[in-house]
Chain A
Amino acid sequence: MVEVHLWSGLRSLTGGQQVVEVKAKTTGELLRALVHAHPQLQAPIDAGVSIAIDGRVIATGLTEPIPEGSEVYLMQRLRGG
């Protein structure tokens, strides 16, 4: 199981939960599992998210592995200039 830390603005979509536990081995699985657990998370995921695994920010990749025991944060997708 992976503990996914959300940004606090998403608590209104998860019944107040800021940490959601899901079963996932990759970033893509993780996003699907989050929506399965909390369907309202589909909107922020569609708007664009990045996933930080042990501090490394995965901007868009859905096939990145999530090692057991990793620290996982959902972040708003980054934009640059």
Chain B
Amino acid sequence: MALDDRKSDFTFVGTRPNRPDGLDKVTGRAKFGADISAPGMLHGAVLRSPHAHARIVKIDTSKAEAHKDVKAVVTRADFAEVPFKPGLEGEFWNVLENVMAGEKALYDGHAVAAIAASSALAARDALKLIEVEYDVLSHVTDVDKAMAPDAPVIREGAADYSVPEGMHPNVVRYHESGHGDVEAGFSEADLVTEDSFVTEATHQGYIEPHACLGMLGNDGKGELWCTTQGHWIAQKTCAALLGIETSQLRVTASEIGGGFGGKTTVFIEPVALALSRKANRPVKIVMTRSEVFRATGPTSSASMDIKIGMKKDGTITAAQGVFRLQGGAFPGAPGDMTAMCAFAPYNLTNVKQIGYDVMSNRPKQAAYRAPGAPMGAFAVESVIDELCNKLGLDPVDVRLKNAAHEGTKASYGPTYERIGLVETLEAAKAHPHYTAPLKPGQGRGISCGFWFNHGGETSVSLALSEDGSAQLMVGTPDIGGSRASMALMAAEVLGIPYENIRVTVADTASLGYNDVSHGSRVTYASGLATIKAAKHAVERLCERAATKWGIPTDAVKWEDGCAVPSGPNAGDFDPMPLADITADMGSTGGPISGHFEATPEGAGVSFGTHIVDAEVDPETGKTCVTRYTVIQDAGKAIHPTYVEGQYQGGAAQGIGWALNEEYVYGEDGRLQNSIFLDYRIPVASDLPMIDTVIVEVPNPGHPFGVRGVGETGIVPPLAAIANAVSNAAGVRMKQLPMSPPRILAALKGNG
């Protein structure tokens, strides 16, 4: 999308007004997924496989169906026939198979049947009446073992065109890219370091479990209320899985208690609708925390080999990475994204990256902020840190020396437009944190990180009221403050106060299609659409003013919330405020609105640099992050407080991922830690104050220069923390999480 009207001087954008949802959230008035009920409502519960891999021989639901409290029981037979296709092409089939098992249970927690009953307790109790006969099969949950020749096959025929011949059927996609000649590059290096790294799967850890209320009649018309990052994709997917027309299902997104990528698909929503269709009553399902861990979408786990050559002056001569990602029992692990992002911060003459998407007997992975990128950054930035240590070089200077900039050929192919990595590194070098003295036992780590960001299909509608206020309807659930940033951008164009604009996340029947709130796209794409919709309304306002003044429309321009004559021949009229035009709009041509629908294609990539200090207790292996600074390019921060919150949130989640969080599977393939007591996310006392620096290198693809900020912030933390811990402990940490037992083992191994 060509932009010739970029703006750099702002009145409202860049200020920090109160959040519009603040009162609702602190008073409990905000309605989340589980906060709704309907007359005659039933409660649903899902029966889940206790086996990691098993053929379903028989499901007998007769006893459950006979129970007085049970109003409906569904199995796979109650969903539409979606044909199997390999790879991501068959995503509807993959989602259906994940929502309700077909011939096989593919992981511990896989749904096999569901019940609707008159109470939640009755529904859970009645699950025990369903008899399932399983033929237990051998399983695999580790990525390297899943690729081995003797690994059990999860599903034959799931691999797509890209997989080289001879690979195990569990390898379902393959990516290879790069440029130059890495072998020639390694031969030019003064030092070549090669190492392997492992990360475990983690969960996004959103506080609100999945919850929904579904109503579907036998006429094929339905309503769905759910907590989701994208209600149009929920609409489209549920309609496909239930065999109804998309437009006959109206989906409303609740307030969302965190998603981070994990609520970009459906799990219980089609089940609630299928139960409702059978019982002819509304059905509500709320997941337990254990169900969230066992049966929603954690990240991939990863196994990676990195080789980097460097000259004594810090110049990287060649870089190579192999990234194997396990994504559960379905295609989709983002090995390609890991590969494409891993070396993206650097200006490399010779680079090669290979990514594998591998299936195993685990839940279907879902996105988690910059999916795939944090693991790759951990491996690559660890090797760069090791090279800096061995060659006695400053880690920021080395990154500056090799940093990508405008005109650099990216590791994934194209030439970069204007980007802001160098600015984040210069800010890191100038930050007091970087030169602050360390205490004995402490170490400092640096890492850069990259993420693409995204545009996506977007619709926005804006309507003016007679009193001069405005209502703005967007279709992207507010997962990070977007109602505030949309209001600020609309205020900037309309010239009316932020407080006079109410932003609503519209349901699927009230607005055109919107992609999911993912890919750090909302402030970019919904923001661009908001600006365009507001400009559309301003054009109508100028037309009305021109008519009132009796001058041509092109003789009127919009300034500070008023129509004013443009040019010396337009006439001498006092500025006409927006509210004066809307006051009688019903009699001067009708309601004044603006709208915009498009797929913006100018999302700018973004970079960040993190500085971390960590302290390791050699007796217990406990790590404490003592200081943390996030520096990231936002393009333009619309509401800086929310931007800082995104930066701090990325660091906090990264601290959890790096130090404690992991999916632990037993020998039986069952998840061992499916509650927050055993899966340890960071709490406030685990975190230092996280300082932030917002760098603003405007994105040429957005009218106000916005780049997405939601995902890049989680790319550097794993590596920056690992580098800090490794430097504190005096031993290179190659496996995440760096939990106390692993730290102690590493210290022991190092003598």
Residues on A lying within 8 angstroms of B by beta carbon are: 5, 7-9, 12-13, 40, 43-44, 46-48, 52, 54-61, 64, 71, 73, 75-76, 78-81
Contacts and interface: CB of A to CB of B under 8 A. Distances in A.
Contacts of A5: 413
Given A7-B175, A59-B455, A80 B413 contact: no
Given A40-B161, A61-B599, A81-B261, 6 more contacts: A9-B176, A44-B162, A60-B599, A64-B601, A71-B415, A81-B367
B398 interface: no
B88 A80 contact: no
A80 B452 contact: yes
Given A47-B88, A59-B456, A80 B261 contact: yes
A73 B371 contact: no
B64 interface: no
B60 interface: no
Contact of A61 (B371, B413, B454, B601): B601
Contacts of B711: 80-81
Nearest to B714: A81
A52 B88 CA distance: 22
Given A44-B162, A73-B413, A76-B336, A81 B452 contact: no
- The winner among B336, B352, B366, B521 for most chain A CB atoms within 10 A is B336
B417 A56 contact: yes
B415 A13 contact: no
- The winner among B340, B453, B599 for most chain A CB atoms within 10 A is B599
Contacts of B605: 57
Contacts of A43: 160-162
Contacts of A59: 454-456, 599, 601, 603
- The winner among A46, A58, A59, A64 for most chain B CB atoms within 10 A is A59
A52 B519 contact: no
B209 interface: no
B89 interface: yes
A81 B264 contact: yes
B454 A80 contact: yes
24 contacts: A7-B176, A7-B412, A8-B176, A8-B177, A8-B178, A9-B174, A13-B161, A46-B89, A47-B88, A47-B160, A55-B416, A56-B417, A57-B414, A57-B603, A59-B454, A59-B599, A59-B603, A64-B601, A75-B412, A75-B414, A76-B336, A80-B261, A80-B453, A81-B369
Contact of A78 (B87, B89, B337, B352): B337
Nearest to B368: A81
A46 B162 CA distance: 12
Interface of B: 87-89, 160-162, 164, 174-178, 260-262, 264, 334, 336-337, 340, 352, 366-371, 410, 412-417, 452-456, 518-521, 599, 601-603, 605, 701, 711
B602 to A, nearest CB: 6
B602 A56 contact: yes
A58 B600 CA distance: 9
Contacts of B262: 81
A44 B161 contact: yes
Contact of A80 (B177, B367, B414, B701): B367
Contacts of B701: 56
A54 B175 contact: no
Given A75-B413, A81-B518, A58 B161 contact: no
Contact of B177 (A7, A58, A79): A7
A79 B371 contact: yes
B162 to A, nearest CB: 6
A29 B175 CA distance: 25
Nearest to A43: B161
B89 A80 contact: no
A81 B601 contact: no
Nearest to A76: B336
A80 B520 contact: yes
B357 to A, nearest CB: 11
Complex A-B, nearest 9 residue pairs according to Cβ-Cβ distance, in ascending order: A80-B519, A81-B261, A81-B367, A43-B161, A52-B414, A9-B176, A7-B177, A73-B413, A55-B417
Given A8-B178, A44-B162, A80 B370 contact: yes
A55 B352 CA distance: 19
A52 B413 contact: yes
B581 to A, nearest CB: 35
Nearest to A64: B601
A9 B601 contact: no
Contacts of B453: 80
A48 B88 contact: yes
A71 B414 contact: yes
B162 A9 contact: yes
A53 to B, nearest CB: 8
A70 to B, nearest CB: 10
A9 B603 contact: no
